[in-house]
Amino acid sequence: MPTAFLSLGCNLGNCHAYLEQAIGLLQAHPMIRVGRISSVYRTEAVGEIDQPDFLNMSAEVVTDLSPKVLLDVCHRVEEELGGADRGVPHGPRTIDLDILLYDQIEMADAELTIPHPRMLERAFMMVPLVEIAPGQELPGGRTVAEAAAALTDSHKIEKLDQLN
């Protein structure tokens, strides 16, 4: 079965609870098995909007869902938890889920780009991902660990803890 890696983030409300609920909702889906999950990281918000720091993490999911159907499931999880206002890029949110990788698929259209188009520039995506999948090969041949080592992102990131 295909393996995908997701990035989860929150900076409004009880973020630990939102992250736990998002993982639970993914796990409850009959076509998704959640595998490894990273620690939770406190990360400085990206962008020009003044807002609280984020809590971010990564999760591995094994699924027979296509990338676009998996994206739909992620959006439903966001909606159920009062999630991301996609009209405000980089804005505050109770929960935000992004597909970083889906096997070795490379795709780009109006709805979805895989690998995530900015993941190689963002510590809040790469640091949690390297924790759970350092040897995962990226399209182009580098590993997640090699790509993370090349990061130039200067936003603060701090490892906190594991979810319950």
Going from N- to C-terminal start, the domains of the chain cover: 3-161
pLDDT-derived band of residue 154, with 50, 70 and 90 as boundaries? Answer: confident
Q: What is the pLDDT of residues 130-149, one digit of tens each?
A: 999 999 999 889 999 999 99
The CATH topology of domain 3-161 is Alpha-Beta Plaits (3.30.70)
The pLDDT, as a whole number, for residue 46 is 79
Residue-averaged pLDDT of the chain: 93
The pLDDT, as a whole number, for residue 85 is 62
Q: What is the pLDDT of residues 98-135, one digit of tens each?
A: 999 999 999 999 999 999 999 999 999 999 999 999 99
Within 10 Å of residue 98's Cβ, how many Cβ atoms? Answer: 18
**What angle separates helix 15-28 from helix 67-80, to the nearest 10 degrees?**
140
The pLDDT, as a whole number, for residue 164 is 73
Q: What is the pLDDT of residues 35-65, one digit of tens each?
A: 999 999 999 987 778 889 999 999 999 999 9
The pLDDT, as a whole number, for residue 155 is 85
Strand partners, 41: 56, 159
pLDDT-derived band of residue 91, with 50, 70 and 90 as boundaries? Answer: confident
From 17, 2, 31, 1, select the one nearest 99 (Cα to Cα): 2
The pLDDT, as a whole number, for residue 47 is 75
The conformation of residue 134, written as its DSSP 8-state character, comes to T
